[in-house]
């Protein structure tokens, strides 16, 4: 591979595909470590996880659009693509590059179309190159504004991974990154807190993403990362975990807190290995879950694997249960009686539900007697 030529920071150049490298550390590739970091591994991951059919179709007919340059950082080994890895992968597939040998079956028909259209140009391609120490900050600012603050956004895990890398490798403070990309809503703090929480729990063996029963999207498909930083937005969850607001560095939990963190992950995502279901149906119940973490009674039920609905039913005051429950039962019975007046019921069905109906009637009579005793001022025990 040719040694990279030193281009002015942020300037466009025409570069050969052989000079360009897919980025194994791209923040969007959150699950890449499962498959490897070789160029062929990265390309296969891109194809399997994100798909490139749309790009292959366009490139095979139109070639590479000059108006959509790749973005790269210069390294001693070549130009590592910071933005445009899907486009580069598609170009490598059409060109028959050795890095795309594992996915030849997926590119065959598009290569045929490309040849039929006279092989429109895909090599070299336009690339905006950032090189040198000073250019690194410009590249970081460009990516941050484009993908964290603007509409062309990465998913939440990709954002968090990008910020963590910037903080750890480029000696920039979180507040400086926030200023650089115009973050006015403490988005970065919450993302980093969630990112480092998951990392600490995985390292401590308290959370295995592959055991999650709740799938995610984008960079991480094993679990919905957005739920993690969302629940950390609730004061009750932070109190339970003993995480201080604004704690956005590595290992946000105290040593004893990792057990609690693991319990929270299981409550949100379930645990396939332990046969434990999630306590919530969707992200809208995360606030309810958070509030239950700081009540010893409800926390015990969460740790037992109870759902939010089951817990709420268990702790609802008896007065409210009576009012709401009796009205709900009355509405159901009224509807069933009305429907039987309108529609003929099959004899087999009537026979099968007769005994359950009689038992329900007996329970109803028992409830009436208990209510009568209370209404008369009796304890119901005499």
55 near 114, Cβ under 8 Å?
Answer: no
User: pTM for the complete prediction?
Assistant: 0.61
- pLDDT score for 361: 92
Give 36-43's long-range contacts (Cβ < 8 A, gap of 24+). Answer: 39/99, 40/98, 40/99, 40/100, 40/101, 40/102, 42/85, 43/89, 43/92, 43/93, 43/99, 43/100, 43/102, 43/103
Between the CA of residue 267 and those of 104, 176, 308, what are the distances in Å? Answer: 43, 35, 10
236 near 291, Cβ under 8 Å?
Answer: yes
The whole-number mean pLDDT for each consecutive block of 10 residues of the chain, a chain of 382 residues, reads 47 90 78 66 89 92 90 87 91 94 91 93 92 66 59 70 75 69 65 91 95 88 92 92 80 90 96 93 94 94 93 85 87 92 91 93 91 80 46
| Nearest residue to 208 (alpha-carbon basis) of 273, 114, 299 | 273
Can you point out the beta strands (E) in the chain?
11-15, 20-21, 70-75, 78-83, 125-130
59 near 117, Cβ under 8 Å?
Answer: no
DSSP class of residue 73? E
């Amino acid at each position: 591979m040719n040694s990279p030529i030193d281009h002015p920071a942020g300037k466009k150049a025409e570069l050969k595909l052989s000079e360009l490298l897919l980025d194994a550390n791209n923040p969007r590739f959150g699950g890449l470590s499962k498959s490897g970091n070789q160029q062929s591994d990265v390309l296969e991951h891109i194809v399997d996880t994100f798909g490139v059919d749309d790009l292959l179709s366009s490139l095979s007919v139109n070639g590479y659009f000059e108006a959509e340059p790749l973005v790269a950082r210069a390294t001693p080994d070549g130009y590592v693509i910071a933005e445009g890895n899907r486009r580069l992968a598609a170009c490598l597939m059409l060109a028959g590059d050795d890095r795309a040998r594992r996915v030849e079956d997926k590119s065959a028909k598009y290569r045929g179309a490309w040849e039929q259209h006279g092989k429109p140009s895909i090599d070299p391609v336009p690339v905006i190159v950032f090189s040198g120490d000073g250019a690194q900050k410009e590249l970081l600012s460009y990516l941050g504004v484009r993908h964290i603050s603007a509409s062309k956004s990465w998913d939440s895990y990709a954002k968090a991974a990008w910020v963590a890398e910037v903080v750890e490798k480029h000696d920039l403070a979180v507040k400086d990154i926030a200023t650089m990309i115009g973050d006015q809503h403490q988005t970065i703090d919450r993302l980093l807190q969630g990112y480092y929480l998951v990392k600490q729990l995985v390292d401590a063996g308290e959370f295995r993403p592959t055991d999650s029963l709740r799938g995610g999207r984008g960079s991480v498909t094993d679990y919905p990362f957005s739920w993690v930083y969302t629940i950390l937005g609730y004061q009750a969850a932070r109190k339970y975990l003993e995480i201080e607001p604004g704690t956005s560095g590595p290992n946000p939990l105290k040593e004893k807190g990792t057990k609690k963190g693991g319990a929270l992950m299981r409550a949100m995502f379930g645990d396939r290995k332990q046969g434990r279901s999630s306590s919530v149906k969707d992200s809208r119940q995360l606030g309810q879950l958070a509030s239950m973490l700081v009540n010893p009674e409800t926390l015990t039920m969460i740790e037992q694997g109870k759902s939010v609905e089951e817990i709420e039913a268990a702790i609802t005051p008896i007065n409210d249960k009576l009012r709401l429950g009796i009205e709900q039962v009355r509405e159901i019975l009224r509807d069933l009686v009305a429907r039987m007046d309108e529609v003929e019921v099959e004899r087999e069905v009537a026979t099968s539900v007769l005994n359950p109906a009689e038992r329900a009637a007996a329970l109803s009579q028992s409830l009436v007697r208990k209510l009568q005793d209370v209404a008369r001022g009796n304890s119901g025990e005499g």
